[in-house]
Structure 1
Amino acid sequence: MITPVIMAGGTGSRLWPLSRQLRPKQFLPLTGEFSMLQETLKRLAPMEHREPLIICNEEHRFLVAEQVRQQGITDAHILLEPEGRNTAPAIALAALQAVEKEPEALLLVLAADHLIQDVAKFHESMNYARQLAEQDQLVTFGVVPTHAETGYGYIQRGAAQHDFGFKVKRFVEKPDRITAEHYLATGDYYWNSGMFLFSARRYLEELLRFQPAMVEACRAALDGASQDLDFTRLDAESFKACPAASVDYAVMEHTEHASVVPLDAGWSDIGSWSALWEVSEHDSQGNACQGDVMLHDSHNLMVHADHRLVATVGVEGLVVVETKDAVLVAHKDRVQEVKQIVARLKAEGRSEQASHREVYRPWGVYDSIDSGERYQVKCITVNPGSKLSVQMHHHRAEHWVVVSGTAKVTIGETTRLISENESTYIPIGQVHALENPGKIPLELIEVQSGSYLGEDDIVRFNDRYGRC
């Protein structure tokens, strides 16, 4: 039976300011109601499969768990990488776990941030790939190109296999424009999708042949793994010793068992704002808009308004993205350079690189409304039944005003309920806790005051999410 393996790492820096380090593009609803991760999970519904395995970064674990829960999936395994080592080790971890349960397990390796518009055609190609995988082929999905794209790697097909697949002749890196046009004209090249279907056993055999140290490091990381709530934590020291390499570089470019199955299903990796514009609905002037947008004499725009009205007059070919704390204006032909802005933000230690003004936590979300030298104001939303950690602060006091719902507040040895329009005060150094005992979200305004207001001024004594 097939085990879906969903790789949910990555930062999606080219979709800044919407995609950020703590909430990258795979967790955003870029093309519809659901996030890219949730769309990937929904795509599995028509097929019979084992429980999915999701591999993600430590800092995204609660985002993954919540988005999986929202899809009604209760049997997913979430594997936490202490640091990214690229795709080959991630797949090795999945393969090692899969063969323990089923020696002939097949792995369907997917990225959490890909768009596939025609799910039926995706499953058709997947069924073809399965036939080759059951014959010990390592199958990759080659996207039938629609234009001469320079932002993707390519796969050149070789001899035909049955009526639906080909041997892989070679993998090639991202080409220049002239080379990409040549690839398109020959009809022998596909975009490299980064999706695979193969036997876990066969993958490990080939990886052991070409990268034995990687297999051993992954095996040691799993042997030393521990369970934390719904997550599997790898042994960090063993995994950090693992060589870093993509699955293409580690295995697919060297093995004699690589096959490619064409995929013509409206695929995109949504790797930039221009890519999102291409797959979005356009008005009669070629504009793709989301949010509160007003256009006048404007053409071929990508406009995303997250928080307020965005208006344009007499412009063409631009990307305009507005969030609560940042605005991007870029020419659509140069959106690949957005990552250079992100690099500058990171080098300067600016928070806009890592997080939005709204920050998601396992218990809910907070929005940093305003701040000054000795104060900070947040709007805090606590999910029904959730509780923040029992904690204290060395440098700040806090005032809480309940806007809606009911708060269960513990200050020292005293616990009481606070209703709408009521407030409380937590002095510096006082142990306290906040809980939502009700059935509706709890919303409150928090005013912090003190000499230091950083998020690292939290001493946790007890936490149901394992953050002590």
Structure 2
Amino acid sequence: MIVPVILAGGTGSRLWPLSRELFPKQFLTLHGSESMLQSTLTRLSGLHCEPPLVVINEEHRFIVAEQLRQQQLLDHNILLEPEGRNTAPAIALAALLMQQQGKDPLLLVLAADHVIEQQGAFQRSITQAIPHAAAGKLIVFGVSPQSAATEFGYIKRGASVAVAEGSAEERLPTYQVDRFAEKPDLKTAERFIQSGDYYWNAGMFLVKASKYLAELKQFRPDIYQACQQSMEQPQADMDFIRINTAAFASCPVESIDYALMEQTDDALVVPLYSDWCDVGSWSALWSLAGKDQHGNACHGDIISQHSNDNFVYSESALVAMIGVHDLVVVQTKDAVLVAAKNQVQQVKQLVEQLKVDGRDEHRTHQRVFRPWGHYESLVQEARYQVKHITVKAGERLSSQLHHHRAEHWVIVSGTAKVTINGVAQLLAENESVYIPLGATHSLENPGKIALQLIEVQSGSYLGEDDIVRFEDRYGRG
């Protein structure tokens, strides 16, 4: 039995301004027609796997739930980390959960933000690794390197390991792990490639749950103990699994590479012969994208003249280029990034500067996602704000009041059930309602299609923290 464990934490700050803390890259559609998380799950189609377990930051829980629901994979299978502690604790939580359920599956650990072009090659490597993992080995998948890349860690292969199953043509070579190498400089990376003994470390693993816990207990008992205490009484909350926040706060921050793979004598590497990318930068995304005859990768409303080898993304406006080369230009509704393609690794530092400056653009988009749908700020001034609100069919906002603002709702499409101070009414398209300051109110979509409305707020303070909730189906305070 294989249980995919999808690690979907992280903020993807190098892909700002598309990727934000509250909606990072793994939930964006950057390559193909699905989000990166959904593509990761689709890639497993055809393998004999149990439903996935997705390990995420609590702030992203409703985004993940919706994306799993769209693929009919939502089944009380979202494990919430109170805060990120890197991969070794995240995998330990998954293994402990399986143990509590009386299971001892093979855990297929995958990151949610990778692009793998050849699904068949990916599944072939997993199939090759299954008997080794079942026999108690810790498998890491090594990507056959395409270049002397300096942004990845490397794995040096050791002695070959016999593979009994499958025909000679079907078998992939399997090797003991000689050592792991940190991200090298260019000269060292070129030496790695020339030797033919190194693979890129893609951060994908296959290991039996009980084996993982035994190795962790031996080599990192501090992580094992903290995770065990965190999982003593997990709490079910809708489709989410909550752990002990205080106990997990004491857990060290460590990757599986440092905690186990570099310590154990049971590590094997199985090659993955496929185009692979972790989409860690705009230049990486440019390399993946389709390009015009001048090498420009364009998305959105773009006009290009005498320009070559650019990556241009427009969310909502016309972007025109004349005589520019090797640039990254990304336009969103609240920010524009212009960067030399060979300098995009500096975007992370730019995001840090936004934090230091106390700006919000690093954290959220103008469109803000909520469990019931989303809203988008259209106009914001000192004493009034206009929002476009979308409520999914069958969903409901919390019963609440505001101390500092009144609201006026105009229904654009769909049907709204509005309750003000205990009195309910149904509103249809082109109808409106006024909610006075201090009135207890709620909004529900009882229909079968999305409800869309325009909200006009007016008052002395328009902050999102001016909400007193009385009842909320999503358990928010």
- Structure 1 length as normaliser, TM-score? 0.98
Matches within 5 A, 1:12-31: 12-31=12-31
Q: For residues 260 and 73 of structure 2, what CA distance do their matches in structure 1 show?
A: 32
Alignment-derived partner of residue 44 in structure 2:
44
Correspondence 1:328-407 to 2 at 5 A: 328-407=337-416
Q: Secondary structure at the match of 1:65?
A: helix
Contact 2:76–2:241 at 8 Å: present in 1 too?
no
The corresponding residue for 2:201 is: 192
Match in the other structure for 2:261? 252
Structure 2 Cα separation of the partners of residues 94 and 232 of structure 1: 11
Counterpart mapping for 1:263-302 below 5 A: 263-302=272-311
- Structure 1: segments with no counterpart, 5+ residues: none
Map of 1:138 onto structure 2: 138
Question: Corresponding residue for 2:443?
Answer: 434
The superposition leaves residues 239-265 of structure 1 with CA deviations (integer Å, 9 ceiling, x where unpaired) of 111111000010001111111111112
Matching residue of 1:7 = 7
2:233 maps to 1:214 = no
Query: Are 1:98 and 1:200, in contact at CA under 8 Å, matched by a contact in 2?
Result: yes
The match for 2:238 among 222, 229, 233 is 229
Write the distance in 2 (CA, Å) between the matches of 1:15 and 1:392.
37
Distance 1:102 1:285 in 2: 57
Residues matched between the structures, number: 468
Q: CA deviation at 1:151?
A: 0.6
Aligned pairs for 1:100-249 (under 5 A) are 100-101=100-101, 104-162=104-162, 164-249=173-258
Q: Distance in 2 between matches of 1:12 and 1:370?
A: 28
Q: Secondary structure at the match of 1:353?
A: coil
CA contact (8 A) 1:152 1:191 kept: yes
Cα distance in 2 for residues equivalent to 1:265 and 1:330: 30
Q: Tell me the distance in 2 between the aligned counterparts of 1:363 and 1:103.
A: 34
Match of 1:307 in 2: 316
C-alpha contact 1:3 1:98 (8 A) present in aligned 2: no
Q: Tell me the distance in 2 between the aligned counterparts of 1:112 and 1:176.
A: 27
Counterpart of 1:52, as a letter, is P
Q: Percent of aligned positions with the same letter in both sequences?
A: 58
Give 1:96's aligned residue. 96
Question: What is the TM-score when the length of structure 2 is the normalising length?
Answer: 0.96
SS of residue matched to 2:49: coil
* Equivalent residue, structure 1, for 2:77: 77
Distance, in Å, in 1 between the alignment partners of 2:401 and 2:380 is: 20
Deviation at 1:104, TM superposition (A): 4.0
Asked if the contact 2:76–2:238 (Cα under 8 Å) also holds between the matched residues in 1, the reply is no
Q: State how far apart, in whole Å, the 2-side matches of 1:331 and 1:228 are.
A: 45
Equivalent of 2:452 in 437, 443, 455 = 443
Q: Quick one: distance in 2 between partners of 1:109 and 1:6?
A: 6
- Partner SS state of residue 225, structure 2: helix
Structure 1 distance, partners of 2:405, 2:234, is 37
Q: CA contact under 8 A between 2:5 and 2:109: conserved in structure 1?
A: yes
Distance in 1 (alpha carbons) for counterparts of 2:366 and 2:153: 35
CA-CA distance at 1:70 after TM superposition: 0.3
Structure 1: how far apart are the matches of 2:250 and 2:350? 31
Contact 2:65–2:74 at 8 Å: present in 1 too?
Answer: no
Contact 1:106 1:198 in 2 (8 A): yes
CA distance in 2: counterparts of 1:198 and 1:89, whole angstroms: 15
For 1:434-467, what per-residue CA distance to the aligned partner results, in whole angstroms no more than 9, with x for missing partners? 1111111111111111111111111110011111
Matching of residue 34 in structure 1 with residue 43 in structure 2: no
Q: Is the 8 A contact 1:406 1:437 kept in 2?
A: yes
- Matched residue, 2:170: none
Q: Is the 8 A contact 2:333 2:366 kept in 1?
A: yes
Q: Which amino acid aligns with 1:427?
A: P
Supply the distance in 1 between the matched residues of 2:102 and 2:309 (Cα, whole angstroms): 51
Q: What are the Cα deviations for residues 206-259 of structure 1, in whole angstroms up to 9, with x where unaligned?
A: 110111121111111111321111111111001111111000010001111111
> CA separation in 2, counterparts of 1:351 and 1:457?
18
User: Counterparts of 1:381 and 1:103 in 2: how far apart (Å)?
Assistant: 41
Contact 1:52 1:76 in 2 (8 A): no
Aligned to 1:453: 462
DSSP-derived class of the 2:470 partner: strand
Q: 5+ residue gaps in structure 2?
A: 164-172
Does the 8 A contact of 1:54 with 1:76 survive in 2? no
Alpha-carbon separation, structure 1, partners of 2:112 and 2:223: 23
Distance 2:75 2:457 in 1: 40
Deviation (angstroms), 1:418: 1.3
**RMSD (Å), alpha carbons:** 1.1
Secondary structure in 2 aligned to 1:354? coil
The aligned amino acid for 1:380 is: I
Q: Indicate conservation of the 8 Å contact 2:74/2:239, yes or no.
A: no
User: The residue matched to 2:157 in structure 1 has which SS?
Assistant: strand
The alpha carbon displacement at 1:394 in A equals 0.9
Question: Which range moves more in the overlay, 317-326 or 216-225?
Answer: 216-225
- For residue 281 of structure 1, report the CA deviation from its aligned partner: 1.0
Quick one: distance in 2 between partners of 1:122 and 1:107?
A: 16
CA-CA distance at 1:103 after TM superposition: 5.2
Q: Distance in 2 between matches of 1:95 and 1:365?
A: 34
Retained in 1: the 8 A contact 2:398–2:470? yes
Which residue in the other structure is 1:413 paired with? 422
Asked if structure 1 preserves the Cα contact closer than 8 Å seen for 2:366 and 2:376, the reply is: yes
